[in-house]
Chain A
Amino acid sequence: DGGITQSPKYLFRKEGQNVTLSCEQNLNHDAMYWYRQDPGQGLRLIYYSQIVNDFQKGDIAEGYSVSREKKESFPLTVTSAQKNPTAFYLCASSIGGSAYGYTFGSGTRLTVV
């Protein structure tokens, strides 16, 4: 079955450490996105990529980095520069940037300990 796989489901990080969240899709979608969700907040866009080797900052990119070396993969690194990283992170993809067929992964819950 096609879909988006995010791993791990739960992640604990010590302050000052970088961590990388995985996002893999087998839907052959061109565009991929990373969102952050905090309690009482909607989804806020961190980074997005429309094609391989290209990505753009979203609304809250500070303290995060991404890469898009393969069409299927869009990993997100939460760096030590992100002051408040505890949140639920969602990856999504879409066909050529269309809102129709927008597909979400099951998310990674990151907690700083």
Chain B
Amino acid sequence: EDKVVQSPLSLVVHEGDTVTLNCSYEVTNFRSLLWYKQEKKAPTFLFMLTSSGIEKKSGRLSSILDKKELFSILNITATQTGDSAIYLCAVHDRGSTLGRLYFGRGTQLTVWP
């Protein structure tokens, strides 16, 4: 059973739209949640979230964590074609092997011009 569930799995929007990507998780001893962007090769780090209710922001991207409801969202405003990628959510379980991340299946975002 998946420990990290992302939705939607696929999303197609037009430039300028705002999108919200979801990530819910179920781990025994939560330590942190991470968001990555993967275009064709290595995932690149976006955010690490450890505390509930504190928004992390970087340009048009922002993310927030709700540890009570066990989910996180990643928002992208004013989308651009360069935002087209797979967005991966991962959770670091304190009870697991140190450094072992559990990944969701990813959301494939396509932004049309």
Contacts and interface: CB of A to CB of B under 8 A. Distances in A.
Interface of A: 31, 33, 35, 40-45, 48, 50, 56, 58, 90, 94, 96-100, 102, 104-107
Contacts, number: 62
B32 A42 contact: no
25 contacts: A31-B99, A40-B9, A42-B4, A42-B6, A42-B88, A43-B103, A45-B100, A94-B99, A96-B98, A97-B100, A98-B99, A99-B31, A99-B32, A99-B48, A99-B90, A99-B92, A99-B101, A100-B32, A100-B48, A102-B34, A102-B45, A104-B42, A104-B43, A106-B42, A107-B42
B28 to A, nearest CB: 16
Nearest to A6: B42
Interface residues of B, number: 23
A55 to B, nearest CB: 11
Contacts of A56: 97
Given A42-B106, A43-B88, A104-B42, A48 B9 contact: no
